[in-house]
Amino acid sequence: MRLALSLAAALVAGLAGVSGWDRTPPVPVRPGPVAEARDDSLDAARQALVDSLLAPYAGFEAPAGVPDAQAERWAEATLEGMTLEERVAQLFVVELGAVRDPDGLARLGVGGFHVNRRTPPQEVRAVVARLGARAPVPLFITADYEWGVGTRRSNFTELPAAMAYGAADSEALAEVGGAVTALEARAQGVNVLFAPVADVNNNARNPIINTRSFGEDPQRVGELAAAYVRGAQAHGVWATLKHFPGHGNTDTDTHVAFASVPGDWRQLWATELAPYRVALAAEPGFVMSTHLWARALDRTATPATFSRAALTDVLRDSLGYDGLITTDAMNMGAVRDRYDARDRAVLPLLAGADIVLNETSPRRAIRYVVEAVERGELPRERVDASARRILRAKARLGLHTAPAPDRSRLRRMLTEVRGARFADALTQAAVTVVRPGPLPIRRGERVALVQLANFNADRPMTQLERDLAPDARARVSTSGGGRASAVAAARGADVAVVAMHLRVKQGAPPRLTPAQRRAVEDMEATGTPVVLVVLGNPYAAALVPDAAGVVVAYDETTRTATAVADVLAGRARATGRLPVTVPGLREESGMRNQE
């Protein structure tokens, strides 16, 4: 809300460039009687900001849903005419690209398909139209669009990770993020977003959630997640809170191995479950379970996906959730390596899940569930309840009456990056000066830019070089190549900017190689003030604890590189806040005056 006021004021003033806004530090407006008195003006400013940032999507609104009563009638009539096998098939969403015969599965009546987030939009539209024409019941088409729909290969909008919303500290921007992602997703036929992440990232060693989380404050995570859900679901899709009951407090990646979340019930309630108590009020269409064992809920090592205590006792009964519960992907190591195909199909449904996601042999899995019902192991009522929820959710989106995604309409939508202004605003608002040191860089100061990465970061590196225009530049490879040039550049500079592009990689926290670490130490030894810039994982700031200045961005896109360069050079003021605690990192405030 605080940022909404400043951004809306800038828009009203007619300022064209985000990077040129001269924004004063945000002033807290919550809680207290003054804040309560200003609620109306805050809401008006927030809505003005949302409307302005969504204006480029005028004419591309998603198809309207239908009233609940009408959806209920269609769901009941459809369910009545379905066989047991057809009802069971609705409980499976299948990964495209991982099955041999998607057309046959569509005809069989599976509940939907999951598309890879990097699949080009026109290809998504074509396959959705083809499979939809074969399916007897409308399909859920799901995607992990946490970073928006865009990639560098399309004109859809590429967005930073969720932690950027946490750093910007703006529910208005989170709402627009959900809306932009929904509008672009639905234009190509995707109707379920597996976003936002509602995990509280309170473990600095978490190798898989990290910047995918809004932050470590449970209340704020819930508020931002709720705003994202509202924005998305107002524009033709279902959003998903994940990963229930929480995937933040672990140092293990469940794509790779099974692990647990520690703590007793009081800790679970106060931290992991707190965002859900807030965000469920936004009525998300989906909640996704995690494959982690919540030790507070089960005495034996049971992934939450298979836990009746987690999915039924807590999520359904205690928290009162009546939407769809989907499992996380069943091809992940945490469950694939511990459970056979039959258990992966049946146990989640016994626990209370409605949808089994990405089982690699769906026909066999459907047969296992049918057999479990026929033997009395799985109550028929359990299957019917889930099938009914699925059909009702599809009808509420209007999938049973909506036309297939239109090719020409999608082509028109892709003529420009319609979310560019929003992405610029979010990225700029997220940049965080943790310790200013010699910033901003003054006119005439000699600047050395040294960049390090743990992946091919050529695009953001090149963008940062172009936008910062340093006097000297070097790149240090993982093997130490470029080290001598980096030290020489720092020795001849007034300010040495060390930019670390460290992507969170599956199964391991980001780190500098020994050769890269030696290069940074040698640069510090020159006596030139070092400004550390982290593009990605904020916890990486602790890798160079003695840097004179520390700046954190939360992604490694070219847009993020531009926003960082603007802050370093004093062309923009950084208003972001660090949404997580970085162990061992000292924070300061106040940048020196720009001459």
**Mean pLDDT for the stretch of residues 363-392:** 98
Is residue 250 within 8 Å of residue 200, measured between CB atoms? no
- Please tell me the distance from the alpha carbon of residue 15 to that of residue 18, in angstroms, as a whole number: 8
HSE (CB half, 13 Å, CA atoms) of 247?
A: 30
Sheet bearing 472-476, strands edge to edge: 432-435, 549-553, 530-536, 495-502, 447-453, 472-476
Size of the chain, expressed as the number of residues it contains: 595
Is the pLDDT assigned to residue 12 strictly greater than 80?
no
Is position 400 annotated as part of the catalytic site? Answer: no
Burial zone of 514 (CB within 10 Å; 0-12 exposed, 13-18 middle, 19+ buried): exposed
pLDDT in tens, 320-335: 999 999 999 999 988 9
At 145, is the pLDDT very low, low, confident or very high (cuts 50, 70, 90)? very high
- Please tell me the distance from the alpha carbon of residue 374 to that of residue 341, in angstroms, as a whole number: 18
At 506, is the pLDDT very low, low, confident or very high (cuts 50, 70, 90)? low
| pLDDT of res. 70 | 96
- Please tell me the distance from the alpha carbon of residue 267 to that of residue 247, in angstroms, as a whole number: 14
**Mean pLDDT for the stretch of residues 510-524:** 91
568 closest CA partner among 449, 481, 476, 398:
449
Structure tokens at 223: 């508020």
Is residue 429 within 8 Å of residue 574, measured between CB atoms? no
Is position 247 annotated as part of the catalytic site? Answer: no
Is residue 539 within 8 Å of residue 511, measured between CB atoms? no
- Please tell me the distance from the alpha carbon of residue 247 to that of residue 203, in angstroms, as a whole number: 10
- Please tell me the distance from the alpha carbon of residue 318 to that of residue 295, in angstroms, as a whole number: 18
> Whole-structure pTM over 0.85, yes or no?
yes
Is residue 244 within 8 Å of residue 287, measured between CB atoms? yes
- Please tell me the distance from the alpha carbon of residue 492 to that of residue 446, in angstroms, as a whole number: 8
Residues 6+ apart with CB under 8 A from 430: 160, 163, 164, 165, 167, 168, 553, 554, 563, 576
3-state secondary structure 522-567: HHHHCCCCEEEEEEECHHHHHHCCCCCEEEEECCCCHHHHHHHHHH
| Percent of the chain topping pLDDT 70 | 91
Structure tokens at 150: 């865009």
249 closest CA partner among 279, 216, 288, 278:
216
> Nearest 5°: phi and psi at 512?
-80, 145
Burial zone of 465 (CB within 10 Å; 0-12 exposed, 13-18 middle, 19+ buried): middle
328 closest CA partner among 233, 208, 437:
208
Comparing 14-18, 114-118, 381-385, 443-447, the range with the smallest average pLDDT is 14-18
578 closest CA partner among 557, 560, 555, 551:
551
Residues 6+ apart with CB under 8 A from 119: 96
Other CB atoms closer than 10 Å to residue 74's CB: what's the count? 18
Is residue 341 within 8 Å of residue 361, measured between CB atoms? yes
| pLDDT of res. 280 | 98
Is the pLDDT assigned to residue 22 strictly greater than 70?
no
Active-site option among 144, 255, 298, 406 = 255
Comparing 26-35, 269-278, 352-361, the range with the smallest average pLDDT is 26-35
Residue where the block lists tokens 């910047």: 211
| pLDDT of res. 27 | 28
Active-site option among 169, 328, 354, 467 = 328
Work out the mean pLDDT of the chain and round it to a whole number: 90
